[in-house]
A = this chain, B = another copy of it.
Amino acid sequence: MQEIHLKTERKTQLVDITAQVQQALGDSNGAAAALVYIPHTTAGVTINEQADPLVARDLENALQKIVDDGWDWKHVEDPDGPNAPSHVRSSLTSTQILVPLQEGKLALGRWQGIFFCEFDGPRDRKVIVTSLA
A: interface residue count bin:
35 or more
Residues on the B chain within 8 Å of A40, using CB: 109, 111-112
Residues on the B chain within 8 Å of A47, using CB: 41, 91, 95-96
Interface string of A13-40 (1 = CB under 8 A from B): 0000000000000000000110101111
- The answer to whether B95 touches A96 (Cβ under 8 A) is no
Q: Which chain A residues have a beta carbon within 8 Å of chain B's beta carbons?
A: 1, 32-33, 35, 37-41, 46-49, 52, 54-55, 57-59, 61-63, 65-68, 71-75, 77, 84-85, 87-88, 90-100, 102, 107-112, 128, 130-133
Closest CB pairs A-B (n = 4): A39-B109, A54-B75, A54-B74, A41-B49
